[in-house]
């Protein structure tokens, strides 16, 4: 079994926050792949289903962001999972909005949810980093991540979440490359190789040749008279 964890804060007031993009990813995967209804479990909400040939548990910790590790550890202990079986989906300030990157192991970069998970299970788990952009100054970060996505972000956010759901079976099978390709097809779909036919250029119509001007008659009157009787 694999464990996919989406990070966020519980409750309706946080549901559309940038910080909750991990929860949104779990909801999209569950919806698109016909997972069982969500149930209160492991100090959060969980649902089981299949992604390709893999059995997968989706988890949304209900412990608030800075205690996410408690919920993750509880699920791992119940199913006897190793950190390598876990993939965490979280918001990433250091990626532009709509960007997605997969990473195995490493630091938490100050993310409170990852920091908590590090403290409970170590750092050897996988991550799917979901770009939300940066407000520009570190003092503005808290308000930024706890603010709802603006309406202007709706299109790229929907594309990103659908791409994640499309690629989730590949990720469950350990193929990060195919997962990223599936996301890219949604976020930046390939353009058709066929280009619209250009309107044919108008043929230039040649201008009619101007009639040659008659040469001036230089005959004297006697020659003109003689020519009339030839």
List residues with catalytic annotation: 19
- The side-by-side arrangement of strands in the sheet containing 44-51 is 39-41, 44-51, 54-61, 2-6, 86-92, 126-131, 100-104
Please report which residue ranges of the chain form alpha helices under DSSP H: 21-32, 68-79, 112-121, 141-145, 154-172, 176-187, 221-228
Instruction: Tell me whether residue 226 is exposed, middle or buried, using C-beta atoms within 10 angstroms of its C-beta: 0 to 12, 13 to 18, 19 or more.
Output: exposed
Query: Which two structure tokens, joined as six digits, stand for 226?
Result: 């003689």
Nearest CA-CA partner of 72 in 129, 133, 116, 18: 116
Cβ atoms of 22 and 88 within 8 Å: the answer is: yes
């Amino acid at each position: 079994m694999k464990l996919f964890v989406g990070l966020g804060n519980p409750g309706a007031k946080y549901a559309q926050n940038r910080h909750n993009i991990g929860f949104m990813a779990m909801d999209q995967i569950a919806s698109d792949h016909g997972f069982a209804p969500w149930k209160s479990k492991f100090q959060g909400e969980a649902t089981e289903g299949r992604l390709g040939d893999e059995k997968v548990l989706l988890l949304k910790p209900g412990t608030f962001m800075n205690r996410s590790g408690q919920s993750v550890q509880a699920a791992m202990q119940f199913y006897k999972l190793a950190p390598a079986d876990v993939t965490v989906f979280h918001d990433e300030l250091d990626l532009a909005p709509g960007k997605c990157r997969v990473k195995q192991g490493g630091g938490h970069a100050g993310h409170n949810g990852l920091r908590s998970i590090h403290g409970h299970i170590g750092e050897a788990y996988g991550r799917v980093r979901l770009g939300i952009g940066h407000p520009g100054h570190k003092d503005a970060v808290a308000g930024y991540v706890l603010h709802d996505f603006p309406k202007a972000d709706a299109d790229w956010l929907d594309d990103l979440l659908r791409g994640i759901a499309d690629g989730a079976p590949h990720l469950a099978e350990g193929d990060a490359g195919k997962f990223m390709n599936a996301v890219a097809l949604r976020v930046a779909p390939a353009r058709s190789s066929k280009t619209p036919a250009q309107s044919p250029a108008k043929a230039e119509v040649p201008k009619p040749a101007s009639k040659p001007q008659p040469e001036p008659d230089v005959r004297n009157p006697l020659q003109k008279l003689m020519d009339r009787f030839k």
